[in-house]
Every structure is written in structure tokens, then in C-alpha cells.
């Protein structure tokens, strides 16, 4: 692996059953409320083909600019594991793999997200972006 590429791993606990947390990643109506969107969004579309090899695409408009995230599903194991490719072609032709693992934690769920490969100089901004989205996800689930 190139020394400039790395892996980002984040873990967060949510006060929701694992099934509900998994559904927030896979139900278009729920996804539209937190994933790759922000309070500054003026338009948001979500297209998910939830099957192995199925494509997904999310477009979010902020200040007149359309930001598009897309990829394909690699693993779908409700409610414990989801893996997909992730790219934003307007910024880079490269794609990463995102793995979401969900475990029961008392009355809630513990989620671990891994994204790789990731340019080392993009780790801090990527982590900040995921953290912001996880705050919106936590609000959705409560």
C-alpha cells in the first residue's frame, strides 16, 4: 500500500436497536435525512439499489453546487454489517471501501465505521465529515 494512503476507523454508540441503526443506512427515506447532507442543503436525492453489486447514489445541493457520492454495495448482512464502495468523482476518480459493523450494546448499538484507502492528508476532514453526519444520525434515531 502507498505510504500516503491510510485507514480511518471510527466507533460510536447509538441509543437504538441494531436493526433500526442498520435501516438508517439502507432505507432511502431515513438515509435522506442524514447521510451526505447538511442543514445547508437545498435539494437532496437518494437512489439505493440494496443488493450485492447494486449501485447507490446520493446528490446534495448546497449553495448552488451539486455534490454527488456514489458506489456499489459489496456486503449486506442486516443488522450487523454493510460494506460499499464510495467515491465522489467530481473530486477524485478514486474509490474507497466503507465498512459499517453494528453490534448490540445493552439497549443500544455500537457502530464501527472503517473507510480505506484514504489519502493521509484527508483523514482529519473525512473524520470531521463523518462525525457531523453521525450527530445527525443520532438525532434521527432518538
At 129-140, the pLDDT tens digits run 999 999 999 999
Angle formed by the axes of helices 18-26 and 123-141, nearest 10°: 120
Query: How far is C-alpha 45 from the geometric centre of its chain's CA atoms?
Result: 15
pLDDT tops 80 at residue 1:
no
Grid cell at residue 59: 446528490
Rounded Cα distance between 71 and 55, Å, is 6
Q: In the prediction, which pLDDT does 3 show?
A: 54
- Alpha carbons within 13 angstroms on the beta-carbon side of residue 129 total 10
Grid cell at residue 29: 427515506
Q: What's the whole-number average pLDDT of the chain?
A: 95
Report pLDDT digits (tens) over 25-80: 999 999 999 999 988 899 999 999 999 999 999 999 999 999 999 999 999 999 99
As a whole-number percent, the residues of the chain with pLDDT over 90 amount to: 89
Q: In the prediction, which pLDDT does 5 show?
A: 83
pLDDT tops 50 at residue 15:
yes
Cis peptide before 130 (omega within 30 of 0): no
Give the pLDDT mean for 104-115.
97
Give the pLDDT mean for 96-125.
96
Residue 15: count other Cβ atoms within 10 Å of its Cβ.
Answer: 14
Rounded Cα distance between 109 and 53, Å, is 27
What pTM was computed for the model? 0.93
- Residue the block writes with cell 476518480: 93
pLDDT tops 90 at residue 82:
yes
Strand partners, 13: 110
pLDDT tops 80 at residue 22:
yes
Q: In the prediction, which pLDDT does 2 show?
A: 47
Q: What is the enclosing helix (H) or strand (E) of 18?
A: helix 18-26
Q: Which among 4, 63, 1 is positioned nearest to 38, based on CA atoms?
A: 63
Amino acid at each position: 500500500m502507498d505510504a500516503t494512503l491510510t485507514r480511518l476507523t471510527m466507533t460510536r454508540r447509538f441509543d437504538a436497536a441494531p436493526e433500526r441503526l442498520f435501516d438508517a443506512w439502507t432505507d432511502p427515506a431515513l438515509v435522506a435525512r442524514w447521510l451526505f447532507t447538511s442543514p445547508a442543503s437545498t435539494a437532496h436525492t437518494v437512489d439505493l439499489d440494496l443488493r450485492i453489486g447494486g449501485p447507490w447514489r446520493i446528490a446534495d445541493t448546497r449553495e448552488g453546487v451539486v455534490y454527488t457520492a456514489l458506489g456499489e454495495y459489496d456486503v449486506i448482512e442486516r443488522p450487523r454489517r454493510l460494506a460499499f464502495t464510495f467515491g465522489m468523482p467530481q473530486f477524485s476518480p478514486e474509490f474507497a471501501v466503507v465498512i459499517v459493523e453494528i453490534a448490540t450494546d445493552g439497549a443500544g448499538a455500537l457502530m464501527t465505521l472503517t473507510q480505506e484507502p484514504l489519502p493521509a492528508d484527508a483523514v482529519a476532514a473525512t473524520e470531521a465529515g463523518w462525525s457531523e453526519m453521525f450527530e445527525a444520525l443520532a438525532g434521527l434515531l432518538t
